[in-house]
Chains A and B, each alone.
Chain A
Amino acid sequence: MSLKAELKALQTRLEANRSPEALATMHRAVDDLRTSGATSRILRVGDRAPDFMLPNADGHLTDSRRLREKGPLVVTFYRGRW
């Protein structure tokens, strides 16, 4: 699925059939994150990335240091499949 199609599907899944009040609550939470200064804590280019060790879907621990020593590592933070 292309990014555009994926985002459309995501928006439909999250927002379809929601009341105007529900949508307002969801959108306000996004706006609050933007305006509260919360995003200023996010690590930036040039910062040192924390290394991490976390379980994969089968419960096996994955070590970011071992991955990044092989080559560049892309890390994506994802809220959930709901």
Chain B
Amino acid sequence: MALQAILPELAPLRANIVAISPQLPEHNRELIRTRHLAFEILTDRGNKVAEQFGLRFTLPDDLRRLYLTFPLDLEKFNGDASWTLPIPARFVIDQQGVIRYAESDPDYTTRPEPEDTLAALRALSSARPA
């Protein structure tokens, strides 16, 4: 994940990162190991937290059938029969729990620019009284 690249910039901003995915923890372990990720990936079984952020969607039947031919059985991969996924998204949440930056795109081949996330964090940091 490209987020890894901005990690060194986060410490002075006192910011933390977590990723959230519906996949089972064993897949998150694998991802952390192979990509040498230095942040946590949390398992959101059934996309319940994604739903609270307004991101959960149910895959249409034709896409389910197609995924099964890949083969990708989301039911097994996620340990959940809902065939739901989160719309890819990123948020910056301030210390009071208010969203200060939000970016999402249903297109799975795009990702938010890490630089935009950093800019949002820097703006928060400079707005806070020393």
A residues neighboring B (CB under 8 Å): 1-3, 6-7, 10-11, 14-15, 22, 25-26, 28-30, 32-34, 38-39, 41-52, 54-59, 62, 64-65, 67-82
B residues neighboring A (CB under 8 Å): 1-3, 5, 10, 13-23, 25, 27-32, 40-44, 49-50, 52-55, 57, 59-60, 62-63, 66, 69-70, 72, 74, 77-78, 85-95, 97-102, 104, 106-111, 113-114, 117, 121, 124-125
A32/B60 in contact, CB under 8 A = yes
- Which of B15, B63, B72, B109 lies at the interface centre, i.e. has the most chain A CB atoms within 10 A of its CB? B109
A73/B18 in contact, CB under 8 A = yes
A73/B20 in contact, CB under 8 A = no
User: Which label, helix, strand, loop or mixed, suits the secondary structure of the B interface?
Assistant: mixed
How many whole Å from B92's CB to the nearest CB in chain A? 6
Residue of A29, A42, A55 touching B59 (CB-CB under 8 A): A29
Roughly how many angstroms separate A10 CA and B22 CA in the complex, as a whole number? 18
How many A-B pairs fall under 8 Å by CB? 220
Roughly how many angstroms separate A4 CA and B59 CA in the complex, as a whole number? 27
Residue of A7, A30, A38, A73 touching B93 (CB-CB under 8 A): A73
B18/A72 in contact, CB under 8 A = no
Instruction: Please give, as numbers and ranges, the residues of chain A lying within 8 Å of B53 by CB-CB distance.
Output: 42-43, 49-50, 77
B104/A39 in contact, CB under 8 A = yes
